[in-house]
Amino acid sequence: MAKWVFSFIYLATMTLLAVVTGGCGNDSGADFYPHQDEALAANRLMSQQGAPLSPEQLLARMQASDVIYLGETHDNPHHHQMQLLALTQLVDAGIRPAIGFEFFFQQQTGWLMDYSLGQGSTLSPDTDGLDERALRRRLGWTHKPQWHYYAPLLRLARQYQLPLFGADLDTGLRLRLSRIDFEQLSSVERRLLPANDLDSDAYQQLMLKTLDQAHCHHANDETLRRLYTTFLLRNEAMADAIVAMRADLTAAQPVVVILGKGHTEFDMGVVERVAHRQPGLRQLNIGLAEGQTPEQLDFSPEAGPKQGEVQFAPAHSIYWVTEGRHHDALQDPCDAFRKHSTMATR
């Protein structure tokens, strides 16, 4: 199975588990970041052509960008550590980016802004909005252990008073889109969705194949079609949020986006949708690769997939290679789908 499919497998598996378990998890009470030497991480920075990049070169590339994507595999703690390193590098250089998150939806932006920028109210002594526990509760993350991947990024934003925003669609809308056709949504629901005018048969066929593999061939054609529609609308929504936030910033302030790398691969997804809205924006597509050494990556211009006559771009502009997740060798990502299918037939 292609390496670039695994980010979709994880996302699909987590979506299924959230439905089955209600999204509950144990709260460890500590951030799960492995120890990793910064110099080692820096030596794993690679350009699209395969040349090693120094931290100074990475900073220069980020400084020259209006939008910076830090594409992750969601449950890889090394990826979140590298995201924190990149953001720290920016603020240490005097740059004050805005930070957007796929994992938070747009309607939660007020809570996020209140946490990082809020000063409390002159009408009330309540300063609950400045408390991380209150933020976690308001965002609906009290029982989600993944909080510890993102909390250090939020704390950094609060320390330097960086704007924070949610980029994705509301989870309820995403659930509805994945289960019924767009035309079956209520008028109220459709009003909450962005326009979707991407017309690319090659990308559709590529993504349908990817989604089929990500769901371990357990999804029928109708389900895959709905998942693709959901994926497109999420990309449109995130692009809307990014462009809107960028309009509020100075030329020296980039937007940094924390999201799954499946939404940016091959300069498609969110990257293409932002370019469609604002062709002049300079975008930097950084992909956090996992479980691979630099020597195993294919850096040729033909590294992107080919669908029919369309040759897609390489996955990312910069690769940041980290260790894989500790459970990769022990866990089959398709097990959750097999178990769900078995339960559904009982």
pLDDT in single tens digits along all 346 residues of the chain: 444 444 454 444 444 434 333 333 344 444 544 455 554 454 588 888 888 899 999 999 999 999 999 999 888 888 999 999 999 999 999 999 999 999 999 999 999 999 999 876 666 555 555 689 999 999 999 999 999 999 999 999 999 999 999 999 999 999 999 899 999 999 999 999 999 989 899 999 998 888 888 778 777 788 888 899 999 999 999 999 999 999 999 999 999 999 999 999 999 999 999 999 999 999 999 999 876 666 677 767 668 888 889 999 999 999 998 877 755 544 666 766 556 555 444 5
For residue 90 the two structure tokens come to 């920016």
In a domain, 183, yes or no: yes
Domain count of the chain? 1
- Give residue 210's identity as a one-letter amino acid code: T
Question: In 3-state terms, what secondary structure has residue 322?
Answer: strand
Is residue 120 in a domain? Answer: no
Residue 153: left (phi > 0), alpha (psi -120 to 50), or beta?
Answer: alpha
Flag whether 53 is in a domain: yes
Tokens of 49: 């052509």
Q: pTM to 2 decimals?
A: 0.84
Q: What is the pLDDT of residue 161?
A: 96
DSSP for 220-272 reads -HHHHHHHHHHHHHHHHHHHHHHHHHHHTS-TT-PEEEEEEGGGTGGG-THHH
Does a structural domain hold residue 170? yes
Domain assignment of residue 130, yes or no: no
Among 198, 196, 208, CA closest to 307: 208
Could you tell me if 255 and 98 are in contact, meaning their C-beta atoms sit under 8 angstroms apart? yes
CA distance 42 to 44: 5
Could you tell me if 117 and 163 are in contact, meaning their C-beta atoms sit under 8 angstroms apart?
yes
Rounded to a whole number of angstroms, the CA Rg of the chain reads 20
**Using CA atoms, how far apart are residues 141 and 28, in angstroms rounded to an integer?**
13
Q: In terms of residue numbers, what domain contains 321? A: 3-12+34-110+144-344
Within 13 A of 234's CA, how many CA atoms are on the CB side?
28
In order of 50, 126, 184, 239, 257, the CA distances from 101 in angstroms are: 28, 27, 29, 12, 6
Asked, for residue 137, whether it belongs to a domain, the answer is no
CA 33 to chain CA centroid, nearest Å? 18
- Checking 34-40 for CB contacts under 8 A at 24+ apart, the result is 34/77, 34/78, 34/81, 34/323, 36/78, 36/81, 36/322, 36/323, 38/85
Q: Give the dihedral sign, CA 17/18/20/26.
A: positive
- Comparing C-alpha atoms, which of 293, 309, 285, 312 is closest to residue 301? 312
Residue 311 near residue 302 (C-beta atoms within 8 A): yes
**What token pair was written down for 257?**
């986006």
How confident is the model at residue 32, as a pLDDT?
47
Residues 6+ apart with CB under 8 A from 14: 74, 75
Provide the pLDDT for residue 318.
Answer: 94
Q: Is residue 27 part of a domain?
A: no
94: left (phi over 0), alpha (psi -120 to 50) or beta: left
User: Which region holds residue 144: left if phi is over 0, alpha if psi is between -120 and 50, else beta?
Assistant: beta
Which residue is it, tokens 């949610």?
A: 166
